[in-house]
Amino acid sequence: LWKMQTFIERSIEDLKTRVGTSRVICGLSGGVDSAVTAALLLRAIGHQVACIFVDNGLLREGESDLVRKTFRDWFRADLHVVDAKDRFLSALKGVTDPQQKRKIIGKVFIDVFKAEAQHIPDARFLAQGTLYPDVIESGGAADGPAATIKTHHNVGGLPKELGFELVEPLRDLFKDEVRRLGTELGLPESLVWRHPFPGPGLAVRCLGEITPEKLATLRHADVIFLDELERSGWYRRTAQAFAVLLPVQSVGVMGDGRTYEDTIALRAVQTDDFMTADWSRLPEDLLARASTRIINNVKGVNRVVYDISSKPPATIEWE
Ligand code: XMP
């Protein structure tokens, strides 16, 4: 059992020796691993770090603000926020197939990231938030079959052609250690305890074709659900929780009239490794409050359902 301070001091030494006076690019996704990687690098080499955050228009409510506040305002980092919302949304126009969505998002992401990285002179290194379980899963090799699956599942997975040398300061750590390290480095709780969020973002939670209107509906419902989980202390008791916008309209009543509107599905799971998962037994009153708030506040939604499927055979995401 080693102390976090010792780890930090040693990592700082190693990073300084490794990168010298070159600049290091660090992609931020809004998730824990990339945030902790960036915070550690900033502690070690300060202004030599350039952070890139791609806003793909598929993020949750408040996500891009949290990254800006944390890294630009608080850490005073050189943060490059790329507003690529229109590029992603126009590339996704008319696309309904889940794997197709992933492919397009992955490709546009690499193009956008690459273009921004070229604006950073003297960059020789690219930092990635690879953790110990990712290292063992891929048999220590950076490109084994398991790594291929992982890359597909991870925004951090940028191709070698970018021409950078990799820096992976979290490779010896497990998730709980990364969280402790993040806290130690001064990251806010809301970042350190964040649930994982898929690279393709809300695109795989907005079933069928993606439109700005549907994304707005989903974002609104999702933030209400997460708020209810936080307030009741259930956010940390679930491994992942979110709303899904179904491509289903159903009949409702409002006053004297009939409505025919969208359905939101709520999903919350318990899991250790995300390979298998069980649905969370959320308290009834929590579900009731989330449902009422969503139906009363989110325009165009008249029905909320709760997903009680375990993985397998269902996956955690719906697409
Ligand atoms: P499933 O839906 O396969 O998800 O049970 C398992 C975990 O992986 C996440 N996930 C993804 N993450 N890109 C990612 O970066 C993806 O395409 C992707 N698909 C699923 C999912 O959120 C869950 O944590």
Question: What percentage of the chain exceeds 70 in pLDDT?
Answer: 93
Cα(31) to centroid(ligand 1), Å: 13
Is 35 annotated to bind a ligand? Reply is yes
Residue 1 binned pLDDT confidence (cut-offs 50, 70, 90): low
Give the pLDDT score at 153: 47
Give mean pLDDT, residues 265-293: 97
Tell me the C-alpha distance between 87 and 150, whole Å. 25
pLDDT digits (tens, 9 = 90+) for 228-261: 999 999 999 999 999 999 999 999 998 899 999 9
Tell me the C-alpha distance between 10 and 242, whole Å. 38
User: Is the per-residue pLDDT at 145 higher than 50?
Assistant: no
Residues in the chain, total = 319
**Residues at CB less than 6 angstroms from ligand 1:** 102, 153-155, 196, 198-200, 240, 274, 311, 315-317
Tell me the C-alpha distance between 183 and 202, whole Å. 27
Cα(54) to centroid(ligand 1), Å: 19
The predicted model scores a pTM of 0.92
pLDDT digits (tens, 9 = 90+) for 88-131: 999 999 999 999 999 999 999 999 999 999 999 989 999 999 99
Q: What ipTM score was computed for the predicted complex, to two decimals?
A: 0.99
Residue 134 binned pLDDT confidence (cut-offs 50, 70, 90): confident
Rg of the chain over Cα atoms, rounded to whole angstroms, equals 20
Average confidence score pLDDT of the chain: 93
**Cβ-Cβ contacts under 8 Å for 92 (sequence gap 6 or more):** 101, 104, 105, 203, 210
Give mean pLDDT, residues 270-292: 97
Q: Which residue is closest in CA terms to ligand 1's atom 22?
A: 198
Tell me the C-alpha distance between 23 and 5, whole Å. 25
Q: How many helices (H) and strands (E) does the chain have?
A: 11, 9
Give the pLDDT score at 139: 61
**Cβ-Cβ contacts under 8 Å for 189 (sequence gap 6 or more):** 183
- Domains of the chain listed by start with CATH number: 4-192 (3.40.50.620), 205-306 (3.30.300.10)
Cα(310) to centroid(ligand 1), Å: 15
Tell me the C-alpha distance between 63 and 195, whole Å. 12
Tell me the C-alpha distance between 158 and 160, whole Å. 7
Tell me the C-alpha distance between 172 and 177, whole Å. 9
Give the pLDDT score at 163: 86
pLDDT digits (tens, 9 = 90+) for 179-200: 999 999 999 999 999 999 999 9
